[in-house]
Structure 1
C-alpha cells in the first residue's frame, strides 16, 4: 500500500520507463536504416536518444548525407512509429497497478516525454494509461532541444501546481536522471537494457533504481 501523498507529484517518462518500448523503437530504426542501406551504430543511438524528433531528422540528414527534408523524414518515421506504438508496445510490468495506487494516495501525476504528441497519445491509449495524468508534456512544448534541459520537468511541475522539490521523476536514461536532479526533484531510475552502459552512474545520481514498478517507492520523496 502506498502512503498518503497529498501535495506530492510523480512525473513519468514514457519510453523505457512506463512503456516497454525501446525494442520497438530500435526495430523501427533497424527497418529504416535497412531500407536506406545505411549502418545503424551505437554512437548514433546515443547521440539521438534525448533529441526532439525534428532535431533527430536534421542530425540524421547531415550525418548520412540524405536528400530528404526534415519534414518528409519526420513524417516517414511518424508513420512507422505510429504503427508500432499503436499495436505492439506494452506497459512496463506493474506500471498500471502503481499508477492506480499513486492516484488513490492523492499524488498528482504527469508525463514528461520526448515523444511527439501523436505518438504519445496513441501509445498511452493502447496500453490503457491515458486517463491517469493531469498533464502530459513533451519536450516539443518547451524551447529546449532535449531533456538535457530541465524545462520539460519544470513545465510539468508548474502545470500541476507542485514545487519541484515535491516532485519525484521516473526516468531511465542518464541524461534525464541527471537533469531532473539538477531541477531539484527526486529521481527514481528504471532499469532498462538500453541504459545498462550507464548503470553505475545512474545508480550514483538517482535516489533509487527499480527493475519494474513492483519495486517502486511506496511513498514519494
Structure 2
C-alpha cells in the first residue's frame, strides 16, 4: 500500500476522529431553533464544503437572517465543547500515525474544518505534533470534491502528487483526491455507510479501521 509513498494526507472528521455525530447533531439543533426539520439530502449536499461554504449554503437554503459570520460563530460555540471533551480518535489511528513517522513518511492534514476546532481535537487527543503540514479548504477556492486542497497540501510538503496517499471517509472527497492523481484509502465511517459500495469501488483500498492495516503496510 505504501510503495513509493513519501507522504500521507489525512482528512480529520470521520477519518481520523469520530466526530460526524457532532455536526449532524448541530445541524439538527440549529435548524430546529430556526423552525426547520433537517432535510434528508443535507449530508450529501454539504459534506465536501468548507466551514464557510456550508454557512453560505445554510443561509441561502434556509433563509437565515444572521450573517455568514454569525452562523459560523454559533456553530463553533456549539462544537467546541464536544471537540475538546467528547471527540476521540478512530481505533488504531494514533498507532498508525506513529508507524508512519517511524517509517519516515511525512504526515499532513487536509480538512474542511476550522483551525480552532482541528487544533482542539488534535491537541486533546495528543497527535497535534505528528503533522508536518495542515491545510484547510478555506485556503483554496473549491471544496474537497475537487483536487485543490490535496494539491496544495502536496506542494507544502514538497512531495509530488503521485507519491502521496490520501485517507478519506466520504465519496466526494475521494473523488477529489483521485483527481489530484493520488492513491486513496477509503476509511469506513458510519455516517457514510450509504456510500460504502461506491467508496470501495473508487478507492485504491478500503479499511474498516486502522486496526485492520497489516504490519507489513508500513
Alignment TM-score, normalising by the size of structure 2: 0.94
Distance 1:165 1:42 in 2: 37
* Contact 1:6–1:106 (8 Å) recurs in 2: no
- Residues 11-46 of structure 1 deviation map (CA, whole Å, 9 limit, x = unaligned): 000000001111122122222122222101221221
Distance 1:178 1:133 in 2: 23
Runs of 4+ in structure 1 off by over 6 angstroms are none
Shift of 1:6: 8.1
- Residues 69-121 of structure 1 deviation map (CA, whole Å, 9 limit, x = unaligned): 11111111111111211111000001000001110011010000000111111
Structure 2: unaligned runs, 5 residues or longer: none
Determine helix, strand or coil for the equivalent of 2:109.
Answer: strand
- Count of aligned positions: 217
Higher mean C-alpha displacement, 111-120 vs 61-70 = 61-70
- Residues 100-150 of structure 1 deviation map (CA, whole Å, 9 limit, x = unaligned): 111001101000000011111111111111010101000001122x10111
Equivalent residue, structure 1, for 2:82: 84
Equivalent residue, structure 2, for 1:12: 10
* Contact 2:161–2:181 (8 Å) recurs in 1: yes
Distance 1:52 1:193 in 2: 21
Higher mean C-alpha displacement, 198-207 vs 6-15 = 6-15
Distance 2:6 2:157 in 1: 10
* Contact 1:6–1:107 (8 Å) recurs in 2: no
Equivalent residue, structure 2, for 1:35: 33
Equivalent residue, structure 1, for 2:201: 204
Q: What is the CA RMSD across the aligned residues, in angstroms?
A: 1.7
Structure 1: unaligned runs, 5 residues or longer: none
The match for 2:47 among 49, 70, 77 is 49
Equivalent residue, structure 1, for 2:137: 139
Paired residues for 1:1-221 under 5 Å: 8-144=6-142, 146-216=143-213, 218-219=216-217
